[in-house]
Amino acid sequence: MSQAEFKITAEMSAKLKAIAIILMVAHHLFGFTTSNHYLSLLIIHGLPVEILIGRFAKICVAMFMFLSGYGYYQTLNFDKYDLGKNVNKILRFYLHYSLVFLLFIPYGLYTNILNTDADVFFGNLFTVISSYNGAWWFAGTYIQILIFYPVFIYFGRDKAIRIIVISLLLLSVAVLIQLFPNVGLFKYMGFMKNTFIWQVIFFQGYFFAKKSLFNYFTFINKTWIIIITLIVLFCLRNALPLDFSVYKSGQVVLSDFVFAPIFIFCLAFFLREKGGFLLKLSKHSTNIWLTHMFFQYTYFSKFIFYPRISIIVLFVELSCTIVTSICINFILDSLYQLVNPTLKIAK
């Protein structure tokens, strides 16, 4: 990689998100299960290598958030910000979410696999809770950050340092909510805690784009250096899981605030060629995220884990979700065509 200015292009970002979605599937397949569910390919210090990969793979969340912030600066920066585009992006995503909800939830309600209580149903429908699908916790966080985005832009229009200050203040509020969950207003703000935490890395991506901070990484320009860096990141992230418990959704790994940009840069080193499988897979990233847990745990767990060999289990899971995604994209395209013949699924 040359010493010239480095920038993540739209195509490169799509490929990185495709890698992130593979990591997400691997994280949920292997990060929470024992070797009883599959046959491990390798044991390292008494642990299946799949568990180590699954734990590391949680970096996928930080990757998505960082790349979203990075892309937002490139498309909706201070000079070109368009509130209408932001609202359209939120509505498109929620339509996407609602369609998946409509396709997968009714059967679970009918068979009592899923909770039929009205408050639970509407909580999941409006992304306030994610009890129907554990991976959906990110949906509410993502929508809330997009809603807050214009506020950050407004206050940071003249001085970007204001965005940093607001971002850190919100992170401080998240810490207070964690420490005092039943005190005053904090007991009503639990569902916002994820947002107050993850907005930090969203705006980290934003500033990496705004200030071209990846230019400072270009000394990492040899394949062997990249490979060593990736190995070190893998080892450190498994050894130093600086966890911060979050609202009903696992844990945020604070080390990802440091590791994610480095990991993204290293992967980008190998993604300079145009086209390829990852670009095609990126068209299905959102659908794979929204549906894969239904295959893994809710409806088709026995089928997904039936092959037993871990790499085949991963292949079967991805194959099922990609086929499902093709159908979902067809329906969405048809809906968009009804509204506006010039519209297609947002990439």
* pLDDT score for 148: 78
Q: Let me know the angle formed at the C-alpha of 24 by 21 and 25, rounded to the nearest 5 degrees.
A: 95
Confidence of residue 247 (pLDDT cuts 50, 70, 90): very low
User: With contact defined as beta carbons under 8 Å apart, do 90 and 346 qualify?
Assistant: no
* Domain ranges across the chain: 10-339
* pLDDT score for 121: 94
* pLDDT score for 4: 59
* pLDDT score for 2: 47
Q: Phi, psi at residue 322, to the nearest 5°? A: -70, -45
In 3D space, the residue among 248, 293, 284 whose CA is nearest the CA of residue 31 turns out to be 293
Q: Which residues contact 217 (CB under 8 A, 6 or more apart)?
A: 6, 261, 262, 265
- In whole angstroms, give the CA distance from residue 278 to residue 271: 9
Q: Which residues pair with 276 in a beta bridge?
A: none
Summarize pLDDT for 90-109 with one digit per residue, the tens: 888 998 999 999 999 999 99
- In whole angstroms, give the CA distance from residue 178 to residue 129: 17
| Of 206 and 1, more confident | 206
CA atoms within 13 A on the CB side of 333: 9
Q: Report the predicted TM-score, pTM, of the whole model to 2 decimal places.
A: 0.86
Strands 43-44 and 243-245: unpaired
* pLDDT score for 193: 78
- In whole angstroms, give the CA distance from residue 272 to residue 9: 10
* pLDDT score for 22: 95
Mean pLDDT score across all residues of the chain: 82
* pLDDT score for 17: 94
| Of 1 and 150, more confident | 150
Strands 243-245 and 47-48: unpaired
- In whole angstroms, give the CA distance from residue 271 to residue 145: 28
* pLDDT score for 164: 79
